[in-house]
Amino acid sequence: MTAQLPPGLHMEKVDERIMTLNVGPQHPGSGHMRLIVKIDGDFIVSCDPDPGYVHRGEEKMAEYRNYITNIPHLERPVIHDSCNVLYPYCLGVEELLGVEVPERAKYLRVIASELNRCVYTQYWLAIYGIFLGHSTMFMWPAGDRELFIDMLEKMTGARVTHAYFVPGGIRNDVPANFEDMLLRRVDYFEKRIKEYAAIFYDNPILISRTTDAGVLSREDAIRLGTTGSTLRASGVDFDLRKKEKYDAYGELDVHSNVLKAGDSYARSKIPWLDMLESCNIIREAVRKMPKSGSVRVKLKPNPKGGDDEVYKRVESGRGSLGCYIVSRSKPEPYRVKMSVGSFRNLICLPYLLKGEKLGNMPAVYWSLNYWPVEADR
């Protein structure tokens, strides 16, 4: 090359065999993000995830609003999992303000959180199904999701964006006769998702396609800092509901699902097993919940925290979801930082896709339990 380049720039050497595909942001196989995939024939040479298309500055917005008005917008990164997104923030603010949550509110929080985990996981599973070309697996979870969306609507008043958790408890108590209806729906939901095994998880084509696709070893999973279902599919038993028992999870018997394979199939099966486990947790929580009592501690208007900082984390649908709040004795937080599971799981995508076939790309990419909007926040 004779052309003079400005200092600091260099020409990239391009192999003629290598073809660069921009998968996304306008591609049916990507979320709100781009994967820059370089392929040699049918094999992926390198993959460079490029998130950031839906960055909305939630953390910066949180610095201009007080602790209560932050609630509705902080749940926006994952509206399908909005209770779990708000959970660490509420726990953190409660610790800053020194508020003790009533016992009944703790259990209702657990129930809402588990319902929301199922709703999120069903949505995720629907997209995993359609990414593999299984259109029935798109429609069934999307339909069965409605069972719990209805329950959440009865609890919170909104179908998707609930804004249900507030510092000091939950916004409203559940309506009368809620527990019976919930238990019936949980039973039906469990029966339905057990049917998914017959059409999806035991499907020989699915198994042959996703086993040994994108294998993440136990060491790599820990080294890359993955979390949630990605970590547990690689054989690491790390579930915050069991390890750091927050709220009412201390009194409940939580079983965390672990698989050893670490491939796309195992990663896709863990959330499904988690949904079955969620059904058990909901049943147990309904049984142990105090039947009456206060659900919310009355806070002072415009509460102020001290000169303090707090970090709380919960197990969301995508893994550990942490919230770091710095308070400077003002009604507004000085800094709110969310550490989300999606972004941490995305990091291992370039390692997993290297050397894989192009046909495995959607199976590996979506099995990471990644939600593009959450990663961008």
Partner 1 sequence: MSVIAPKFRLSYFIKSILDNAFWAITLLTLIGLPFVQVILFYLELPVIGGRLLDPYLALTILADPSRQIPLLQSFIQTDFFKIAVFPGFGFAALLAAGTIFVERKMLAKLQLRVGPFYCGKIEGILQLMSDGIKLLTKEIIIPAKADKPIFWAAPVLFVATAAAFVSLIPAAGGGWVVADVEVGLIAVFAIIGFFPVITVLSSWSANSKFPFIGGIRALHQMVSFEIPLILSVLGVVILTGTLNLTEIAESQDPFWWIIFLPIGAIVFFIAMLAELERIPFDLPEAESEIVAGWLTEFSGMMYGLVQLGSYLKLYAFAGLFVVLFLGGWSGPNIWPPFPEEIIEKGIELGPVTAHFPGLPLLDQQMLNDVLWYVIKVVGVIFFILLPRGVFPRVRIDLLLHIGWYKLIGLAFVNIFIALGLLYAGVLGPEGIL
Count of positions on this chain that bind partner 1 (CB under 8 A): 32
- How far is the C-alpha of 183 from the C-alpha of 189, rounded, in Å? 10
Binder of partner 1 out of 203, 256, 280, 294 (CB under 8 A)? 203
Select from 123-131, 172-180, 243-251, 293-301 the region that touches partner 1 (CB under 8 A): 123-131
> From the CB of residue 306, how many other CB atoms can be counted at a distance below 10 Å?
11
DSSP state of 214: S
Residue 329 in contact with partner 1, rule: CB under 8 A: no
> From the CB of residue 260, how many other CB atoms can be counted at a distance below 10 Å?
10
The letter for the amino acid at 319 is G
Q: Which residues between 234 and 273 bind partner 1 (CB under 8 A)?
A: none
Cα distances (Å, whole numbers) of residue 167 to 67, 90, 198, 264: 8, 5, 43, 38
Binder of partner 1 out of 52, 133, 157, 355 (CB under 8 A)? 133
Question: Is 366 in contact with 348 (CB distance < 8 Å)?
Answer: no
Taking the complex as a whole, the smallest distance from the CB of residue 21 to partner 1 amounts, in Å, to 6
Binder of partner 1 out of 87, 140, 165, 370 (CB under 8 A)? 140
- How far is the C-alpha of 369 from the C-alpha of 375, rounded, in Å? 11
Q: Which two tokens stand for residue 83?
A: 């209770």
Taking the complex as a whole, the smallest distance from the CB of residue 86 to partner 1 amounts, in Å, to 31
Residue where the block lists tokens 């999307």: 142
Which is nearest to 338 in space by CA: 302, 314, 369?
A: 314
- How far is the C-alpha of 36 from the C-alpha of 23, rounded, in Å? 6
Question: Is 84 in contact with 312 (CB distance < 8 Å)?
Answer: no
- How far is the C-alpha of 74 from the C-alpha of 88, rounded, in Å? 11
Select from 82-90, 162-170, 332-340, 352-360 the region that touches partner 1 (CB under 8 A): 352-360
Residue 143 in contact with partner 1, rule: CB under 8 A: yes
Q: Which residues between 2 and 21 bind partner 1 (CB under 8 A)?
A: 19, 21
3-state class (DSSP) for residue 19: strand
Residue 208 in contact with partner 1, rule: CB under 8 A: yes
Taking the complex as a whole, the smallest distance from the CB of residue 61 to partner 1 amounts, in Å, to 33
Which is nearest to 248 in space by CA: 150, 112, 143, 119?
A: 112
Binder of partner 1 out of 205, 217, 223, 307 (CB under 8 A)? 205
Residue 27 in contact with partner 1, rule: CB under 8 A: yes
Binder of partner 1 out of 29, 52, 157, 355 (CB under 8 A)? 29
Binder of partner 1 out of 38, 171, 242, 357 (CB under 8 A)? 357
Binding mask 76-115 for partner 1 (x = CB under 8 A): ----------------------------------------
Which three-class secondary structure string do you get for 155-203? HHCCCCCCCCEECCEECCCCCCCHHHHHHHHHHHHHHHHHHHHHHHHCC
Residue 131 in contact with partner 1, rule: CB under 8 A: yes
Taking the complex as a whole, the smallest distance from the CB of residue 363 to partner 1 amounts, in Å, to 9
Binder of partner 1 out of 317, 333, 341, 362 (CB under 8 A)? 362
Q: Which is nearer to partner 1, 182 or 206 (CB)?
A: 206
Q: Which residues between 38 and 57 bind partner 1 (CB under 8 A)?
A: 42
Residue 211 in contact with partner 1, rule: CB under 8 A: no
Binding residues (CB under 8 A) for partner 1: these are 19, 21, 27-29, 42, 129-140, 143, 199-200, 203, 205-206, 208-209, 357-362
